[in-house]
Amino acid sequence: MGWDTYNAYGLDYNETIIATNAENLVNLGFRDLGYNVVIFDDAMTERNRSENGSLIENAAKFPSGLATIVDTLHRDGLYFGVYSSAGRFTCGGYPGSLGYETIDAEWWSSLGADYLKYDNCYNEGLSGTPKLSQDRYAAMSNALNSTSRQITYSLCNWGDDKPWEWASTISNSARMSGDIADTFDMPTSSCPCGPDEYYCQLPGYGCSVVNILGKASHITSKNQPGYWNDLDMLEVGNGGMDYEENKLHFSMWAAIKSPLIMGNKLDKLSPEDYAILLNPAVLAISQDPSGSAIQRRLVRQVDDTDEYGFGEVQVWSGSLNNSDQVVAFLNVANASRTMTFSLVDVFGGIRTTENAQKSWDLFDVWGNETVMANDVASQVLNGTLAVGNATG
Ligand code: GLA
């Protein structure tokens, strides 16, 4: 769990932006709930390497120097995340790490890095089979393991060559789709594969929440503690989705056990966004020790399609460590509706008849007793209420 520069700032960030968001991670209570890594995404370095081949920190962006900035993060109980690509360049055209794995891993380690997001741009054609991709990403895995630091290794190869089938032995997570956009279900030509497609060779960018969820539904069983399907950053707080859509986005990312990396501006959150991101019941589901993702059990077509042609409801469910069950009902259509399903539907057919025969107590993770009240969230955000009182 953490925060990343890219979705809200693109390549245009600097030490002031990092400091503002890092302070808000601490002061608004995010760090203490687990959002504790600050990822400097693409464009942290200069555009050229030094004469000895080393990456160079970007002096214009970080006039205080990365060493000082990282010390402050660590002193504040935050982790330092870096970014590169398993290619000749990063996606933004900065130096990539293909062929420079050892020297770059050493550089990040010397800076105190705790996390690496490792992209797939300009990969020199070294993809197209699982082996080509795995070898390319394993080179960095080995380099990181040879440093003196523990560095979480997060692949960002967009599902290329199906990392869920080979990356668990060399990494801690892997992106499984093209880049997310801040939209619930709007299709875009830049995200060419639909939500029903199990595998997408050119996954692109601009993918909606519904699109990514559909793709994820095929591979949720591939999660395990230590290796997570990464559904991409959270868009909560960026303004493109309404309250119900943001709740669905956040709940499903948590219940599928995606890393929860915010990609927003933490000094611009609305009270509703803030209450969503801090929902303690949803975070508890995300962090459940079994690490097991909920599975999609059922998709049923309904007759009112929305403006993009979606007219369906979905049921997802799965177990927590203590045998409680997480159940999600998704309405991807035009109108509010009452949904009626049998417990057999909810638990996934005859495989789980035992669960369908029990009676269950219900707890609504979005009920009033869980969600921080709007006036309390407002007071925390405008600094008139200490965060301990709000979340305690
Ligand atoms: C790719 C990644 C994004 C982001 C950008 C940075 O598109 O998938 O998450 O890191 O590169 O340029």
Domain coordinates in residue numbering, the chain: 2-293+370-381, 295-357
pLDDT at 274 > cutoff 60: yes
- Per residue in 121-159, pLDDT (tens digit) is 999 999 999 999 999 999 999 999 999 999 999 999 999
pTM above 0.85, yes or no: yes
**Which of 4, 6, 11 has most ligand 1 atoms within 8 Å of CB, for mutation?**
6
d(CA 315, CA 332): 11
Confidence of residue 234 (pLDDT cuts 50, 70, 90): very high
∠ Cα 149 152 154 (to 5°): 145
Structure tokens at 274: 């803030």
- Per residue in 360-380, pLDDT (tens digit) is 999 999 998 899 999 999 999
Asked whether the CA dihedral 10, 11, 16, 20 is positive or negative, the reply is: positive
Pair 133, 158: CB distance under 8 Å:
no
pLDDT at 11 > cutoff 70: yes
- Is 41 touching ligand 1 by the criterion CB < 6 Å? yes
Structure tokens at 203: 């996954």
d(CA 327, CA 208): 22
Per-residue confidence (pLDDT) for residue 111, from 0 to 100? 98
Q: List the end-to-end C-alpha distance of the chain, in Å, as a whole number.
A: 20
Known catalytic residues are 119, 179
d(CA 150, CA 249): 30
Pair 30, 266: CB distance under 8 Å:
yes
| Protein residue closest via CA to atom 6 of ligand 1 | 42
- Per residue in 85-116, pLDDT (tens digit) is 999 999 999 999 999 999 999 999 999 999 99
Atom of ligand 1 nearest to the CA of 85: 11
| Protein residue closest via CA to atom 9 of ligand 1 | 179
- Is 179 touching ligand 1 by the criterion CB < 6 Å? yes
Mean of pLDDT values over 300-329 = 95
Structure tokens at 195: 């939500």
pLDDT at 392 > cutoff 80: no
- Is 119 touching ligand 1 by the criterion CB < 6 Å? yes
Atom of ligand 1 nearest to the CA of 179: 8
Confidence of residue 354 (pLDDT cuts 50, 70, 90): confident
Tokens 């056990």 sit on residue: 257
Report domain 2-293+370-381's class: alpha beta
**DSSP 8-class letter at 234:** B
Helix (H, G, I), strand (E, B) or coil at 224: strand
Alpha helix (H) ranges present in 30-151?
66-75, 101-111, 130-145
Mean of pLDDT values over 225-244 = 97
CA–centroid distance, residue 133 to ligand 1 (Å): 17
For 44-58, 268-282, 292-306, 341-355, which range has the lowest pLDDT when averaged over its residues? Answer: 341-355
- For the residues of 276-313, what is the DSSP string, one character each? HHT-HHHHHHHT-TT-PPPEEEEEEE-S---TTS--EE
Mean of pLDDT values over 45-73 = 98
Percent of the chain with pLDDT over 90: 94
pLDDT at 390 > cutoff 90: no
Per-residue confidence (pLDDT) for residue 348, from 0 to 100? 83
Per-residue confidence (pLDDT) for residue 353, from 0 to 100? 80
CA–centroid distance, residue 351 to ligand 1 (Å): 40
pLDDT at 19 > cutoff 70: yes
CA–centroid distance, residue 203 to ligand 1 (Å): 12
- Per residue in 153-201, pLDDT (tens digit) is 999 999 999 999 999 999 999 999 999 999 999 999 999 999 999 999 8
- Is 160 touching ligand 1 by the criterion CB < 6 Å? no
Per-residue confidence (pLDDT) for residue 148, from 0 to 100? 98
For 92, what's the count of Cα atoms within 13 Å in the CB-facing half-sphere?
A: 16
Percent of the chain with pLDDT over 70: 98
| Protein residue closest via CA to atom 1 of ligand 1 | 91
d(CA 217, CA 136): 27
CA–centroid distance, residue 384 to ligand 1 (Å): 37
Mean of pLDDT values over 52-58 = 97
Tokens 């020199």 sit on residue: 124
Mean of pLDDT values over 41-67 = 98
**Which of 91, 122, 123 has most ligand 1 atoms within 8 Å of CB, for mutation?**
91
- Is 4 touching ligand 1 by the criterion CB < 6 Å? no
Burial group, residue 26, by CB count within 10 angstroms (0-12, 13-18, 19+): middle
- Is 151 touching ligand 1 by the criterion CB < 6 Å? no
Atom of ligand 1 nearest to the CA of 232: 9
- Is 239 touching ligand 1 by the criterion CB < 6 Å? no
Average pLDDT, the chain: 96
Per-residue confidence (pLDDT) for residue 249, from 0 to 100? 98
CA–centroid distance, residue 118 to ligand 1 (Å): 9
∠ Cα 361 366 371 (to 5°): 120
CA–centroid distance, residue 343 to ligand 1 (Å): 41
Mean of pLDDT values over 25-46 = 98
**Which of 122, 179, 231 has most ligand 1 atoms within 8 Å of CB, for mutation?**
179
Mean of pLDDT values over 252-260 = 98
Other CB atoms closer than 10 Å to residue 102's CB: what's the count?
16
Cβ within 8 Å of residue 193, ≥6 positions away: 178, 200, 203, 211, 215
- Is 42 touching ligand 1 by the criterion CB < 6 Å? yes
pLDDT at 269 > cutoff 70: yes
Per-residue confidence (pLDDT) for residue 386, from 0 to 100? 74
Is domain 295-357 annotated with CATH 2.60.40.1180?
yes
Structure tokens at 210: 């519904």
